[in-house]
Chain A
Amino acid sequence: MKKGYFGDFGGQFVPELLMPPLLELEEAMERILPSKEFQDELKSELTHFVGRPTALTFCPNLSAKLGVKLWLKREDLAHGGAHKVNNTIGQALLAKKLGKKRLLAETGAGQHGVASALAAARLGLECTIYMGATDVERQSLNVRRMRLFGAEVVPVESGTKTLKDAINAALRAWIAEQQTTHYCFGTAAGPHPFPLLVRELQAVISREARAQMLDQAGCLPDYVVACVGGGSNAIGAFNEFVPDAKVKLVGVEAAGSGKPGDWHSAPLSKEGSPGVLHGMRTQLIQTIEGQIQPSHSIAPGLDYPGVGPEHAAYQASGRATYVSVTDDVALDAFVDLSRHEGIMPALESSHALGWVIKNAASLEPGAHVVVCLSGRGDKDLDIVNDYLARKA
């Protein structure tokens, strides 16, 4: 297979000016990442800074209600409140080994921005975060967190002023600052080697979950379910289960409002088509003329018109199935898990959970279902309270 490809998807569609830092990173990934020294340092950071391993929690109350055995892989318990730190702490370590002084990162909702900023602070790196001007406004809490960790937050005024434009701005900045700066890409997408690098760093989710299932349940799960925006928590939750052919892998995209004509964030399960954006060939929400369309989801972390190339490849090969649920299904799941299990999931993770709750009756009775609870929901309280007030 061609370098950097997963089936027909992936590649390195970037200006030549970005090839030298990508080749440098690729070389570092092959040489430094597997080394014992790096792996020992990473393990130490994951244990003592991130708080791994995260728990695998059985949900007795929802399980009784749904007729399946529901397990949660608790990435909400990782430092920063989401799985994002698994990636940023690894990339920050790698950046230090490469002699880089600074991290730059894009962020949509701000979770990856926060995770990058705290990893940079921990390892003594400078940090610049590119964030769409619209997102800067609607995610002011995360902007304040990033600034507290010492990061510079640059509002991006171009295009739709959201995540995709923040990625454009970060790629542009990287062209100019590649000698001193590492681009800490936030999801398992973008040009090679990012999809591979981010997967390797997030695979800790399924490495732990697989061992925990064998230990706590005495068997492998029947389903592993994760939400998919760019797809980093999902690729991390799937990776170690891929060779276990009997484990069904389900990626849940955001269908938005579900009303005809409204934007969504589901290029795999709704009207996506293959194209090239942000350095990769993947499934995209685009016009027939190849212009990228805006996306929408109530979960800001899923709000992206593309998806990581390995997911596009898993869909094509049939190894994973991709579905979508609407904003309302996710919001109801948010409330259900809080009320029945005392755990408040992020709205992103609530999509995965919502799919299970909605479809539990059609799953095999008693099936073991692991949901990747990619983050905690404190950040979403305002949105959820508005929803409950509307419903009342």
Chain B
Amino acid sequence: MSNNILTKRIEAARAAGRLALIPFLPAGYPNKDRFWDEIDGLDASGADVIEIGMPFSDPVADGPVVEHASLKCLDVGVNLKWIISGLAARKGRYKAGLVLMGYLNPVLQYGLEAFARDAASAGVHGVILADVPHEEADVVRAAFDPHGLALIPLVGLNTTPSRMALYGNNAQGFAYFVSVLGTTGVRSQFDTGLPPQVREGLTHAKAAFPVPVALGFGLKHPDQLKDLAGLVDAAVFGSALIKHIDQGGDAKGFMKVWK
């Protein structure tokens, strides 16, 4: 079992008899100043883990809501230095575990080793790189491991049990299970409950991973969480939070509904 803080935060939620909540917000959204207020808000209102998006010009795993928000952040000059130095300045302030989520190229250009060192020392516990599958993960893990930074695997409905096992063998922190064959974004297909193939995929994932499993992509309403009890340890929401902010809301108001 992973000793990573992310694992511990999610386990603690489970011990308290609830799903862990993992909100996602692109770094610098809705603007550079308010972003940090929203992170404070998420932390204060019970987020167990907070995922911060690292913007990239070509986000192939993201749907239109997250892509649009990320590109807006890029336009105002958000970059890895801004994110990491902002977190470093606030180190020790958050109860929640911290995860950075994005794509490999900006991390490569920062330097894998330098990124691992700086992110870990700024208080980041794990990283999701959407375009690093098992086949390409060795180099990344070799850079992250010495700093205790978890490389969080991302699997989905079409991940076979044998591939799930490949990820399970190396998993740290938690595993991210993508609920749809598609990109990020809310899905109306969940309005009538959890599709049977998601249930089946989650059962495989729970068996394959020695770390907690989080469900993401497509969640839009807290009622959906009831269906997940016992199948999954945590729920991730990104697009729904961005939309809530776009409609004039804030993180605290958003979390109130989900908590």
Contacts and interface: CB of A to CB of B under 8 A. Distances in A.
A321 to B, nearest CB: 26
A16 interface: yes
A149 interface: no
Interface stretch (B56-64, B87-95, B207-215): B56-64
Interface string B64-88: 1001100100100001100000000
Nearest to A20: B158
B181 interface: yes
A14 B133 contact: yes
Interface residues of B, number: 44
Considering residues B60, B61, B106, B182, which has the most beta carbons from chain A within 10 angstroms of its beta carbon? B60
A4 B134 CA distance: 14
B133 A19 contact: yes
A147 B110 CA distance: 44
Given A178-B181, A289-B109, A3 B135 contact: yes
A288 B60 CA distance: 21
B67 A158 contact: yes
B71 A159 contact: yes
A165 B110 CA distance: 24
A299 B67 CA distance: 29
A168 B109 contact: no
Contact of B58 (A15, A164, A273): A164
B104 A276 contact: yes
A15 B133 contact: yes
Contacts of B250: none
Contact of B134 (A16, A275, A279, A288): A16
B105 A12 contact: no
Contacts of A291: 56-57, 74, 106
B181 A276 contact: no
Interface in B21-73: 56-61, 63-64, 67-68, 71
A148 interface: no
Interface in A1-48: 3-4, 11-20
B156 A276 contact: no
Contacts, number: 114
A175 B181 contact: yes
Contacts of B67: 158-159
Contact of A159 (B58, B80, B156, B178): B58
Contacts of B68: 158
Contacts of B74: 291
A193 to B, nearest CB: 12
A290 interface: yes
A164 B104 CA distance: 17
B158 A278 contact: no
Considering residues B56, B58, B153, which has the most beta carbons from chain A within 10 angstroms of its beta carbon? B58
B183 A16 contact: no
Contacts of B118: none
Contacts of A176: 180-183
B119 to A, nearest CB: 15
Interface string A269-283: 000010111110000
A292 interface: yes
Nearest to B159: A16
B58 A289 contact: no
A286 interface: yes
Contact of B160 (A20, A158, A278, A290): A20
A11 B140 CA distance: 14
B163 interface: yes
A19 B163 contact: yes
A15 B108 contact: no
A195 to B, nearest CB: 15
A86 to B, nearest CB: 27
B181 A290 contact: no
A172 interface: yes
Interface of A: 3-4, 11-20, 158-159, 164-165, 168, 171-172, 175-176, 178, 273, 275-279, 284, 286-292
Top 9 nearest A-B pairs by Cβ distance?
A290-B109, A290-B106, A290-B105, A291-B57, A176-B182, A292-B57, A276-B105, A13-B131, A15-B61
25 contacts: A4-B135, A11-B136, A12-B135, A13-B136, A15-B60, A15-B61, A15-B133, A16-B153, A16-B159, A19-B134, A19-B163, A158-B64, A159-B57, A165-B58, A168-B60, A172-B63, A175-B61, A275-B108, A286-B105, A287-B109, A289-B80, A290-B105, A290-B110, A291-B106, A292-B57
